[in-house]
Chain A
Amino acid sequence: MKTMEVRIQRYLPEQHSEPVVESYQVPFDDSTSVLDALNSIKEEQDSSLSYRWSCRMAICGSCGFMINGEPKLGCKVFLRDYAAAGTLLIEPLAHFPVERDLIVDLEQFMQHLDAIQPYIIKEQANGVSEMTPHKQTPAQMDKYQQFSDCINCGLCYAACPQFGLNPEFIGPGALALAHRYNLDSRDEGRAERMPLIGSEEGAWSCTFVGYCSEVCPQSVDPAAAVNQAKVLSAQDMVLQLFRRKK
């Protein structure tokens, strides 16, 4: 088995005043993912290493890290991909506060996600009394389906300099989910979501850097969603002007 040097940014708040990079030699073959490497380090070399992970198959969205400066899921990239570069540096996701080693505080993202109400809103709360099914044609579903694959991994936030510059920015992931529900024929909550989307910290903080869509492991294309939301917000503004005149 070949070995590779894996460098990891460590931060133990009880020991370090600021993060330090530590180096480990990790044996690997063609099937060793970066997450496998972290697990191997924790089991064989340093049990104090902390990181989040769960499913190992790019669906839970827990193991997002900066790998050689790019936001990636640890389970979705392999040491063999970095053999040519010869170096592998794992850091916690950018733009989030670091709690410990590779664990970041996602609270800001969770708050933004909560604020855009990422669920189907029905204006009349018929509740369970009226058990009508939410029918939807394939064409109606096609309108939002692309934006519904988000796994809340946060890679797009680590890729977004506007979120890095201003953490109050709702950000790509949450705005993409807002747009996903706004496009859903069963949803009636667009009017409730629009004020936040149309605010300075909503879609309008985005400058279409586009890197969020490049790093998205689910190919959601949040940048497209955010910019389609800008179009909706602009339409909303024009409609508001007419409403006021009447």
Chain B
Amino acid sequence: MSKTVKRSDEPIWWGLFSGGGVCFAVFVPAAVFFLALALPLGWIELSHAQAVKAFGSIFAVVFVGAVIALPAFHAAHRIRHGLYDLKCRSRSLIKWLAYGLAFAASVYAMGSWLISFLL
């Protein structure tokens, strides 16, 4: 083979995708059930004061990482490859957009946590 082969950067995205996949499977079901169903339906109590206190704790970083940041990269990876499967062109634009938005979501959530934690 005379063709030069270039190392793919995919291990990075695949690592984030896999970590996010575990979180999506293990942490997200309970998070959806309690925060997105039980809370608005009144099955659990979570006042603003309680929520602020909980979000300011060190444990909230687990929530941000396992329920927001890693699942966001998982979603970005599947959307990127899914669009390729559907034969969407502009592959590099899709790649930048998908991971860029996941990164932005992660930074926003992590930053908010850090401010709450430090204040």
Contacts and interface: CB of A to CB of B under 8 A. Distances in A.
Given A165-B87, A207-B85, A195 B14 contact: no
B79 to A, nearest CB: 12
B6 interface: yes
B11 A195 contact: no
A234 B11 contact: yes
Nearest to B4: A195
Interface in B33-88: 81, 84-85, 87
Interface in A129-176: 161, 165
Given A230-B14, A233-B11, A234-B15, A195 B5 contact: yes
Given A165-B85, A234-B15, A115 B7 contact: no
Give chain A's interface secondary structure class: helix
Contact of B7 (A165, A195, A207, A230): A195
A200 interface: yes
Interface in A180-213: 195-196, 198-202, 204, 207
Contacts of B7: 195, 198-199, 237, 240
A28 B52 CA distance: 74
Nearest to A116: B1
B90 interface: no
A237 to B, nearest CB: 5
A204 B87 contact: no
Nearest to B84: A165
A199 B85 contact: no
A199 B6 contact: yes
B92 interface: no
Contacts of B14: 204, 230, 234
B8 A115 contact: no
Nearest to B15: A234
Nearest to A235: B11
B12 to A, nearest CB: 8
Nearest to B6: A199
Contacts of B10: 200, 204
Contacts of B87: 165
Given A200-B10, A207-B85, 19 more contacts: A115-B1, A165-B84, A165-B87, A195-B7, A196-B1, A198-B7, A198-B8, A199-B7, A199-B8, A200-B8, A201-B5, A204-B10, A204-B14, A207-B81, A230-B14, A233-B8, A233-B11, A238-B11, A240-B7
23 contacts: A115-B1, A165-B84, A165-B87, A195-B5, A196-B1, A198-B8, A198-B11, A199-B5, A199-B7, A199-B8, A200-B8, A201-B5, A202-B8, A204-B10, A207-B85, A230-B11, A233-B8, A233-B11, A234-B14, A234-B15, A237-B11, A238-B11, A240-B7
Interface of A: 115, 161, 165, 195-196, 198-202, 204, 207, 230, 233-234, 237-238, 240
Interface of B: 1, 5-8, 10-11, 14-15, 81, 84-85, 87
Among all A-B residue pairs, the 6 with the closest Cβ atoms: A234-B11, A204-B10, A199-B5, A204-B8, A200-B8, A237-B11
